[in-house]
Amino acid sequence: MRILIVNHYSGSSVLGMGYRHFYMARELQALGHEVLIVASRYSHLRTSQPARSGAAWSEHCGVPHLWLAGCAYPGNGIRRLVNMFGFAGDLWRSAATIARQQRPDVVLASSPHPLSVYGASRIARLAGARFVFEIRDLWPLSLVELGSISQRHPLIRLLDHAESYGCRRAHKVVSLLPCVHDYMRQRGVDEGRWMVIPNGVVPGEWKTPWPALPEAMHRFLGSLRLGGFQIVGYAGALGIPNEIDTLLSAAGRLRGRKIAFVLVGNGSHKKLLQQRATGEDLRHVHFLDPVRKEQIPALLQWFDVAYIGWKRQPLYRFGIAPNKLMDYMMAGAPVLHAVEAGNDAVAEAGCGLTVAPADADAVASGLQRLLALSEGERRAMGMRGKEFVMRNHSYPMLAQRLLQACA
């Protein structure tokens, strides 16, 4: 089978996020299928951008890629919208050529935003291919509920039309979120036409020996351990949605205890968080630079408890699918999960404790309860998380599910 994947923000193990379709492509190749990826030449999620772009296909890490239009942009301003429309327009204009040259059997359009659905479905129609629409974020509901944008706004109406168009045209609809039954029905997608394929992990990346941490970071974490500190860790973006402010408030409540809070990452909110920690004299809170993806397993081994937090948002009633949580669980780290959502992998797996979101008292209490457990009890918790991920979120298994959607 020849599968064409369209994902504006697709990355790779070399370029950085997003990884989903790059890993999926490699698993499908291992099963004997041909896979091609169409992506934008610029994405804010990547740590680097592809060297080649334009009308020519090129091999990237063993997967043929076509890098289409997409200007560089900072933040979420007008230039990001220009990037989105530029990619969608270039895809539409290139659709006939792509269909004629590549003749895919299946076209999968992923919706980090849904505007590329028009060009992707056109490729499928011209090639006589099956069309699969993958819904990642819910558009435009995410902007309406999280961004408080009016449903009458022209952009909201366009995004609504694009997602509705994809749902109508698709042979199958794939959702990363597990609790979207009612949402799918509202979009006219009956239960037999959609399936859940969540985010996943590559088991091979978690086999020892792992690439070592930077020497300075290794020494610092070792000094905390030698000093008798238990480590509460967070690894990921330091932005407003990640509820690090709540973690700092919890750290303030646990001041004076032998607990070190280690926050590894960058993000739009990092400087403000550092200033707050300094202003409140949170000397046991430490900010470290991010590490390479392949070093994540080595980092997470130092965490006695891993933290992940969410804002209290009605949108999460449809479920959540965080990659960071999968990493925590694969590392065998007990997890403090501050969330209220339609699903909760931590509770399902029994690999930690779930508390109310945006509640510093609840987070502080939860951390104390987990850290009061014996090392053996925490290790058993962590192993339950790893087993859960291997059963439900490994890319070899998810690739088989995607083939079912393509059939």
Sort strands 58-60 and 63-68 into parallel, antiparallel or unpaired: antiparallel
Is residue 104 helix, strand or coil?
Answer: coil
In a domain, 145, yes or no: yes
- Let me know whether 186 and 209 are in one domain: no
In a domain, 404, yes or no: no
Residue 51: the pLDDT is: 82
- Let me know whether 8 and 135 are in one domain: yes
In a domain, 106, yes or no: yes
Cis peptide preceding 18, ω within 30 of 0: yes
Contact predicate 275/240, CB 8 Å: no
In a domain, 376, yes or no: yes
Residue 53: the pLDDT is: 60
**Domain count across the chain:** 2
- Let me know whether 299 and 224 are in one domain: yes
- Let me know whether 183 and 132 are in one domain: yes
Give the integer Cα–Cα distance in Å for 358 and 241.
10
Is residue 357 helix, strand or coil?
Answer: coil
- Let me know whether 173 and 318 are in one domain: no
- Residue 28 in tokens: 């499908």
Residue 399: the pLDDT is: 96
In a domain, 405, yes or no: no
- Let me know whether 224 and 110 are in one domain: no
Question: Last residue of a domain, which of 162, 178, 197?
Answer: 197
pLDDT along the chain (407 residues), means of 10: 97 92 97 97 92 80 94 86 95 97 98 95 98 92 78 89 96 96 94 94 92 97 98 94 96 97 94 97 97 95 98 94 94 98 97 98 98 97 97 96 92
- Residue 58 in tokens: 């090129």
Please provide the DSSP assignment of 33-78 as one string.
-EEEEEEES--TTBSS--S--SSS-EEETTEEEEEE------TTSH
Report DSSP state, residue 315: G
In a domain, 402, yes or no: no
Per the structure, the complete domain to which residue 379 belongs is given by 204-392
- Let me know whether 177 and 277 are in one domain: no
Q: From residue 6, give the alpha-carbon distance in Å to each of 29, 38, 81.
A: 17, 5, 18
- Let me know whether 167 and 288 are in one domain: no
Give the integer Cα–Cα distance in Å for 347 and 352.
7
Give the integer Cα–Cα distance in Å for 230 and 226.
10
Alpha helix locations (H) across 113-232? 117-127, 141-147, 154-169, 181-186, 215-226
In a domain, 188, yes or no: yes
- Let me know whether 208 and 355 are in one domain: yes
Question: Last residue of a domain, which of 145, 177, 197?
Answer: 197
The predicted-structure confidence for 182-230, as pLDDT tens digits, reads as follows 999 999 999 899 999 999 999 999 998 999 999 999 999 999 999 999 9
Is residue 354 helix, strand or coil?
Answer: strand
- Let me know whether 74 and 209 are in one domain: no
Contact predicate 120/3, CB 8 Å: no
- What's the CATH number where 168 sits? 3.40.50.2000
Residue 268: the pLDDT is: 86
Alpha helix locations (H) across 187-243? 215-226
Give strand pairing partners of 260.
Answer: 231
Q: Which of 303, 306, 312 is nearest to 353 (CA)?
A: 306
Residue 42, sorted as left (phi over 0), alpha (psi -120 to 50) or beta, turns out to be beta
- Let me know whether 219 and 137 are in one domain: no
- Let me know whether 382 and 259 are in one domain: yes
Residue 126: the pLDDT is: 98
In a domain, 253, yes or no: yes
Task: For residue 405, give the amino acid letter.
Answer: A
Question: Last residue of a domain, which of 171, 197, 223?
Answer: 197
